[in-house]
Amino acid sequence: MYRTSFPKGFPEGFLWGGATAANQIEGAWNVDGKGLSTAEVVQKAANRRELTLDGVTQASIQTAVADTGDRLYPKRRGIDFYHHYKEDIALFAEMGFKVYRFSIAWSRIFPDGDEAEPNEAGLAFYDRVLDELEHYGIQPLITLSHYEMPLALTEKYNGWAGREVIADFNRFTEVLFKRYKGRVRYWLTFNEINSGTWGFHETGAVDQGLPEDQQLQIRYQALHHQFVASAIATKQLHEIDPKAKIGSMLARMQTYAKTPDPLDVRAAQLEDEKNLFFTDVQARGVYPEYMNRYFAEHEIKIDMADNDEQILAQNPVDFLSFSYYMTTVTSHADQGDSLGNLAIGGRNPYLKASDWGWQIDPVGLRISLNEMWDRYRKPLFVVENGLGAVDQLEADGHVHDNYRIDYLRAHIQQMKEAVKDGVDLMGYTMWGPIDLISFSTSEMSKRYGFIYVDQDDEGNGSLKRYKKDSFFWYKKVIASNGDDLD
Ligand code: BG6
């Protein structure tokens, strides 16, 4: 539409807040009937640059199951949000959160994933969390699957590689939609769905040691099952609670060309297509041609049931969400130097990186927002963005984290530019407002929070919460609806 006036800043009602995941904060892994989840059998990394999540094998699962402690498995203890949720939500409210993104652990509700009836004690916990959020007028944004599933489904069907899991998942989603009808306006289906191409942590499918082509076959098949389950969940929600909205969730990682050589530009485009493939399916409801060609050339065959394509086509998501941490660089000749953990691809000489090698690129956020808006024309939501850093708790209880403020300020500024560019942006939930267990290394000392939690990598500490300098800064940002970023 032709227009001559432009927004000056964030729209009224912009959803400011923070995001967490059950397996990184809750703890209480073996209480109130909870079953063991896939996240709870992943050992912490010996070295913080090492990514061990996908080193899971049948043997390592057996070892983990026999181990009843949490020393090697920090996602079992989290930061004990299960018992601290009132205090933590009160702190979020003090910052002025409008929205809190969290996930529901499937294994709390269906301990083995395939019971006929849900576990009431598990549901009761989330009832209490919602009560608390309502008390402060904070909207919940719930992720249905954030890097975990009942381990029993891995044992029975090799996780999402088995088509049977679709029905189990959609029994879980139906229970939640019915129970929380009218109480939860925003839902997300699969967290960073594209990271299923890396394996177990997202798909729950054990495929270590297999040749790469077989791994790819398993992973893309598992992802197909998730696409279908996500579309069925979308249909369920629209029928059960027509006022609620449901979105997809992508780990957005823009790839730049290393040089203007058209071959490099094409290599970058290809990488970007492989990233956007997931939102293409979830927003448009069809498998794009470029991926069909990729599958054919890699001899990947997606096994589709008769009406899968129809289910996908009829149930696109309402909005698109994504996490944004970094960008990367590629060339047709090489894949560049490898950086730190999760930092795939090459170095960009124009960018600095975090201590974990994640290249910090605020302008890239504006670029991504504009590209995704142009491509889909659906509302967007930045549901993760933040800086993992080592923080120092001073003797007086303060944490001076100016580096975190600088990081967030720069990204929010670029987000504001995107809004002025005309992007329809629903909100921003930074990751993670309170220190939590790292997804990729399971360490505690990679901290993201506005709130410091006294716990070390071994699980020692009082779990006491402290407000960092960034806490007071974010409070001001929210109070001014993003105008005051100083
Ligand atoms: C995203 C995940 O990949 O990045 C989160 O959705 C995760 O679960 C976040 O915690 C940061 O990653 P890490 O490895 O630094 O915890």
**Would you write out the chain's pLDDT as a tens digit for each of its 486 residues?**
788 888 999 999 999 999 999 999 999 999 999 999 999 999 988 776 666 666 899 999 999 999 999 999 999 999 999 999 999 999 999 999 999 999 999 999 999 999 999 999 999 999 999 999 999 999 999 999 999 999 999 999 999 999 999 999 999 999 999 999 999 999 999 999 999 999 999 999 999 999 999 999 999 999 999 999 999 999 999 999 999 999 999 999 999 999 999 999 999 999 999 999 999 999 999 999 999 999 999 999 999 999 999 999 999 999 999 999 999 999 988 654 444 444 456 889 999 999 988 999 999 999 999 999 999 999 999 999 999 999 999 999 999 999 999 999 999 999 999 999 999 999 999 999 999 999 999 999 999 999 999 999 999 999 999 999 999 999 999 999 999 999
For the entire predicted model, the pTM comes to 0.97
CA nearest neighbour of 366 among 482, 230, 254: 254
Quick check: CB of 191 below 6 Å from ligand 1?
A: yes
Ligand 1 centroid vs 330 CA: distance in angstroms? 23
Report the pLDDT value the prediction gives residue 6, as an integer from 0 to 100. 85
Catalytic-role residue among 26, 132, 384, 443: 384
Task: Determine which residue's CA is closest to atom 4 belonging to ligand 1.
Answer: 439
Report the pLDDT value the prediction gives residue 344, as an integer from 0 to 100. 56
Report the pLDDT value the prediction gives residue 333, as an integer from 0 to 100. 83
Ligand 1 centroid vs 415 CA: distance in angstroms? 20
Backbone phi and psi for residue 249, each to the nearest 5 degrees, phi listed first:
-145, 120
Quick check: CB of 439 below 6 Å from ligand 1?
A: yes
Quick check: CB of 384 below 6 Å from ligand 1?
A: yes
Task: Determine which residue's CA is closest to atom 9 belonging to ligand 1.
Answer: 439
Task: Determine which residue's CA is closest to atom 14 belonging to ligand 1.
Answer: 440
Domains of the chain in sequence order: 15-479 (3.20.20.80)
- Copy the structure tokens of residue 131: 């009560």
Active site residue 192: no
Backbone phi and psi for residue 167, each to the nearest 5 degrees, phi listed first:
-65, -40
- Copy the structure tokens of residue 417: 């530019």
Report the pLDDT value the prediction gives residue 18, as an integer from 0 to 100. 99
Report the pLDDT value the prediction gives residue 47, as an integer from 0 to 100. 73
Angle between helices 81-95 and 120-136 (to 10 degrees): 20
Cα–Cα dist 380/114, whole Å: 33
pLDDT, tens digit, 9 for 90 and up, residues 83-133 = 999 999 999 999 999 999 999 999 999 999 999 999 999 999 999 999 999
435 neighbors 388 (Cβ within 8 angstroms) = no
Report the pLDDT value the prediction gives residue 1, as an integer from 0 to 100. 75
Ligand 1 centroid vs 425 CA: distance in angstroms? 22
Report the pLDDT value the prediction gives residue 341, as an integer from 0 to 100. 44
Cα–Cα dist 430/432, whole Å: 6
Mutate to test the pocket of ligand 1, among 440, 441, 453 (most ligand atoms within 8 A of CB): 440
Residue type, 12: E
CA nearest neighbour of 148 among 20, 275, 37: 37
- Copy the structure tokens of residue 261: 């050589």
Quick check: CB of 192 below 6 Å from ligand 1?
A: yes
- Using the atom order of ligand 1, give the atom closest to the CA of residue 388: 15
